[in-house]
Structure 1
Amino acid sequence: MIIKKIFNNNAILAKESGKHEFVVMGCGIAFKKNIGDEVEETLIEKTFILKQKDASEKFKLLLEDIPTEHVSLCYDIIEYAKNILGVELNDYIYVTLTDHISYAIKIFDEKLNRPNGLIWEIKKFYPREFQIGLKSLELIESETGKKLPEDEAGNIALHLINAQVNDSGNKMQDITNQTKMIKDILNIVTYTYNVILDEKSLNYERFVTHLRFFFQRLNKEEKIEIEDDFLLNQVKVKYKNAYECMLKIETYLEKELSEEEQLYLTIHIQRVTQR
């Protein structure tokens, strides 16, 4: 394993014969070293192997501008998130989250506040990601001595959500918009039925989960397929109020939904409004 580029004393770009380049970090790993020298493997603490070329290139650029301590801290946060969520995260998380957290620490030092207008919705709709965000704030405080505001836990959660469901071409704004739309749809149901939804119920959780994947399908233009419209016709009659509420949601979305989506939305509305 040889050194291809030196970012600083603690971070280098390395390459093994016949393999991809990857970023390696370790205390003093580049001290008194030159390009082409062998890497002292006993000093390696963290290894970043980003398979997506664009993400890899952007990560290298990031290393030139961001303190190594911040990069190392975000590595630990991402590894923790992977273990808790049990999913693969898009390589871009190493770029986007590292850049975000480093900037959040910077503006904290400058006594600036950046409120998260979706903090309540993130807590309600993405509780696991938000809890990881809170744990991240603990790690940040432990490493830097800086106690960032709870709003940043919400921002970290959004990055994690984005890395789970989006490819590299999509933007964080997609998740922000989806979260707002879920809130709006729940409000439509609440005001139509004039009830307070039980946010701790299984039916509420199922409805929100359905909406999350519903928006993913809309973005990808995927559809749920059912064999015929018999069931939808039955539901229209049996759950008339829920069906009419679904039509209000369709109007809000400004999009004609397939019969399949109409069916499942109606059923979920019926369930979530029943005590």
Structure 2
Amino acid sequence: MIIQKIFNNNAIVAKDSQRQELVVMGRGIGFKKNMGDEVEKELIEKVFILKQKEASEKFKLLLEDVPSEYVSLCYDIIEYGKNMLGVPLSDYIYVTLTDHIFNTFKMHDDGIRNPNPLLWEIKKIYPKEFAVGLKALEFIEDSAGKKLPEDEAGNIALHLINAQLSSSNSRTSDVAGQTQKIQDILNIIKYTYNNNLDEQSISFERFITHLRFFFQRIHQKKKMELEDDFLLRQVKAKYKKAYSCMLKIEKYLNTGLSDEEKLYLTIHVHRVTERQTE
């Protein structure tokens, strides 16, 4: 393995015997080294093999600015996520999550909190990814000494969710159809309530995100199920118009919704149509 570029004492770019380019990390691996030198194998701690060229180039740019210990921390989080979720992740997560964590640390050090308005949805709809996010907070506190709020577990979960989706070859072809369906659902709500929706509101943002997750679950054949229908019956009685609107959406989608899907969709319709100060 031959050194191609040295970022700092702990991070280099190297090429192996098959001429494959690798990002290699390890304490002192670049110390007093030059391009063309042999990599000391006993110093290797982590190896990044990014097959997507654009992701690889952006990752190398990140290494110019991000401390190697933060890059190593994100590597551990991603590898833990892969093992726990049992799904392939796009190479881009090494770029997006590392950049996100680096900026989150800077905001944390400046006393700036970044609340996650989608935390509720993430917890309910993607509990496995959220559990990885919570474990990542433990990694961060142990490694970097920074105690981050639960919102950040939701942010990390979103990166894992997006990385799963972008690694799916069929996703790109579904985007146009999904976008059209979301617009059709918004139109059903507008006509039912004879009112425009506040597209700048947090409720609207959360609703759009819920719909995207909904279509993703259909694609992945995931289902949400209630243990009993007590809450749905309460919501149906309290938000009659929103429930009626939800039934129109169900008919448009031409698919049977589970009780839990009906519950959350009804709540979101109510929230997005309710006049309130966000």
Name the TM-score class by shorter chain. Answer: 0.5 to 0.7
SS of aligned partner of 1:72: helix
2 CA distance for matches of 1:159 and 1:135? Answer: 14
Alignment partner of 1:90 is 2:79 = no
On the 8 A contact 1:92/1:168 being kept in 2, the answer is no
What's the RMSD between the two structures over aligned residues? Answer: 3.4
CA offset digits 1:31-90 (Å, max 9, x no partner): 110011010011000000000000000000000010001000000000000000001100
Residue 273 of structure 1 deviates from its aligned partner by: 6.6
1:73 is aligned to: 73
2 CA distance for matches of 1:55 and 1:45? Answer: 21
1:163 is aligned to: 163
TM-score (norm. length: structure 1) = 0.68
SS of aligned partner of 2:130: helix
Alignment partner of 1:268 is 2:269 = no
1 CA distance for matches of 2:158 and 2:262? Answer: 28
Q: 1:21 to 1:146 in 2, by over 3 A?
A: same
2 CA distance for matches of 1:118 and 1:45? Answer: 36
SS of aligned partner of 1:7: strand
1:151 is aligned to: 151
1 CA distance for matches of 2:2 and 2:54? Answer: 22
Q: 1:68 to 1:123 in 2, by over 3 A?
A: same
Residue 269 of structure 1 deviates from its aligned partner by: 4.4
The total of aligned residue pairs comes to 210
1:13 is aligned to: 13
2:268 is aligned to: none
2:166 partner letter: N
1 CA distance for matches of 2:151 and 2:260? Answer: 32
TM-score (norm. length: structure 2) = 0.67
Q: 1:121 to 1:4 in 2, by over 3 A?
A: same
Q: 1:59 to 1:168 in 2, by over 3 A?
A: farther
Residue 243 of structure 1 deviates from its aligned partner by: 10
On the 8 A contact 2:246/2:262 being kept in 1, the answer is no
Residue 215 of structure 1 deviates from its aligned partner by: 6.8
Task: List runs of 5+ in structure 2 lacking aligned partners.
Answer: 190-211, 222-242, 264-278
**What percent identity do the matched residue pairs reach?**
59
